[in-house]
Structure 1
């Protein structure tokens, strides 16, 4: 089943007071209309991602901040990020403003606008006072739980399809959705077989070429330690699965989400050159500028790779996200891996200058 993108009609976020320290400042930003272009993305078996833009308060002519939060099935915030300098601390008011805007969001229709041709009299207003909204009558604690968007297992999907067939509903939309999902799973399984053996050998032998560093998890707060162990640490099987599932690179949602948890090749230099922890942390979340030369390089990458293969006669493989097993907070996505005539494996870096 494909992802669902929502631009309006948002559900409220649960327990906002437990996650943010700057709700009062966020309330002012929300009321001033600084939060806009809100998008919610729901995907099976994944947490819900909500992101928006926020007009900088100090200089409205500057590019907007990118604000994003991650929600679990109960609409409770599990992660929050902002591209502003204070985005890593608990005092970022932009993240709080996004949550408040979501909870106060209400789509407008023509009947929401003030009547222009015949306004009711004061007496008429007193006779027919405006009623309360449903969300004002039913408090958040009394509302039912949010629906789960987790993808059913293969066994459950097969059971559903069998029931639909028995009731003569093999032509129904839900049956076709379940069947298409099964095909996608089979396609992914076949795709993993297409990875050459020499690429698999590189992945399995990567620990031989790195220097390990001691990881002192006991110095982290319990919540951060739990997050690191659940989301950053990966075993051999998970590393392989992520590599195979992200072969489309920027076209893969998993590729985007997994890179957010790690220092990647595109961010490493900025983090290394940062003089203060604050600057280094800011460079971790800063996205590369969307200038025309970078867009051109992306468009020409596939053609350049094909030309390299044609000229050198070497086998080239375009990999997915490679996570360093012994230091899983590090990852990279090479433009390509190649093997020469003598069996030596190398990393291909493609540069396509526009001028």
Structure 2
């Protein structure tokens, strides 16, 4: 009985080289699984499947024809851990026959040892190219033995600070990998990595090393190699906004460009944000050459002007730290001194007005108004009751803005030119020849801390010179008929509307912020009247509002106090901008 067991054990012992299929069928399942596990192959399945898997694996290991290649294997490969004469790799050590297509084929044309089916390692190949291009391979060493080139290196982990080594549970800062190449033609004979998927030599880390060798060989031989100085472990990128960063993948698949059906014909469509300025410049240049008198050109055009002399007026010579009490007498004195020394000359005022035409589409206009109390917020400043000015400062200094996608904003900008055109027609019918011009941001040298951006400046022989302020009320969509779909008189019946109806005509409410806006515009422009226009899809209303000197003087005092007590302290500290309370 014992002799039979010994004979069976002797029969099941795997041969050194290759066993036939009948011999493998005599192996026990446990022995088949041990052999598969030793060779990093799948060990699950029925015995028949395991037998075929082992047989194909053995056939694959021994299936080599020395006569099919000029490089004879002559002698067995030497285990890497037994090699001691390592040196730093030089580009001349890399076999000339190694090419990128060979590495691609190494990943794309592997065979399953069990079924013989062709396997594709596309994902590992793509990741390998990314690791190569981003410099994850480092410390490449070379050993020259007989007809083989042994190359080993380290590969930085792509995400973690430390990595698990195989199935041992140990960790390391790098993956260790090696490849064996034919010296003459660069054949890839063997590859290993100590990552969990590197036993078969088909992981992304091995591919990264192979692609790095190809890249180094193909680089300029007159310059030093850069693979031995990869990107640093601790990256120190420069600060950047997320919207300015482009995230791309290596070897991104190229998509076929869509062919325009009619390439010679303009096709309307939304433009990208980065194209806005170029697009606007092209439109304005075309209008200037074709028809400079058109309303669109007169509205959007603006002169290229340097407004830095104006902006520099609001740069303090020093800043106050956060621990400084801004109510201290020294601070208050400095703020008052800064206010008293604000001097805007006529030349600066004219350059500013011309250089900010186009208003919201002009970056100069956006920059300049951040240092001023503009007419649109004068009502809020005048009626302010809260002692904490932070939220109002955010609005004045441009820290928060209303998004352009808000329906009421889009609606107002869309129909403002329509309202101006109807106003011109109405005024012309009543007074004869009428001229309406667009203007930029005006700062009166008398009031260097205030600014006014009007919709239009109107001139006629009968009325003289005045202003036009247009409102296109949008209304709430929750109501059956929003303001935009009513006549102006019908809108006035709503208590939330800015105007009252008096004898069939609209009158702006005294409590409305628009009242202080138009008075501020008249005060800055030093004019006597403004036509306040309410336009809806169902009609237009024009109210002539005269300058009220007593209201202006009362506004001026409060505006000055707020500017000295709140705006200037923010200029000296930028606390609100940094999310800190001003006081």
TM-score, normalisation: structure 1: 0.39
Structure index of larger Rg? 2
TM-score (norm 2): 0.25
| RCO higher in structure (CA 8 A, sep ≥6) | 1
